Structure 1
């Protein structure tokens, strides 16, 4: 790594940061995530700028030490000082993309991508091109291909609201048994609306291979006594 930066070298690093941040941001924006292309470009370029400043500080300190040998023990430059502030500061921006609701937490991947893009920007700004390019490839693969190649099954809760308890309960249990759906847990609740009893069962179920929750909901919805079906992520 050449510590003496020239204008063309600075332009190359900033353009590379714009390109890498833009590609990752495009993938996030395409999936309608909170932080899109412009945000990722700005984060990557901002981290690159901080790293470039740190490189210049180090170069200036080294030049001063060469010009004034008597001050060698006095002049110091810690190249990790500004970079450490980027790593900690980007956490606040990432936290802003995380949305927490009663049923789910979203935005974690986008927050992680912002943090990773900041790391890429630092690598570019410091001139570690091999680290930047190979890391970019790894991050992009993690965002685009891993989910398609590796399927991680998730456990979800199925909320079923119905009336006429015995008849409907038998229909639900029979459906689960016929389709080999395992019931891991179930919570019961009942409310009275005028003279009608409305039951709400929340099932924790494990689906057999090849079956989807959408199919389960579609099949169960045909029963006249079932008034509500929805998935609750855990």
Structure 2
């Protein structure tokens, strides 16, 4: 009986097998495997076997890729520069081409003197011998008083003795010819803005290369010295 009691006491005092086990046995291998996969896919985003961020897959929007954003932003700036370059180039070409000038009657009245408006926009005529450029022969270019479009070179001006500035030809494409309603004369206007210049006459016997006389109101012109 004493022996049995001693044996029982020894067994009670003996540490449990649970506490003798190695701590590593308490950790399941499954969480370790998932943790390893999780970490490996964070550092290797190109792998497709497992992704902890399925809600942000390639088909989802918006994307939060810094490198992609920088690339797209750089492309946007590049396109903007090309666009601005194209627009600025287009504006330069249009300016060189001298496109049509269209204004309302009120706008013309605001920028022209009463006499200029009467002649340029209402097809009036200045009194003969009174024009500023009737007897003027400086070297340069005559432009439209309404829109500043070049119309005549000074080398084409001659003295007709008629009381108005006379030119034997205009710059290419600058002058538009329109027959008057009665068919007796041909009106000449600025092609760009339609401003009335005067009339053109042919076959008057002037010793000019074209045998034409552009009879122009001085008020319709502005002179710019130089070639």
TM range (shorter): under 0.3
Relative contact order, higher structure (CA 8 A, sep 6+) = 1
Select the structure of larger CA radius of gyration. 2
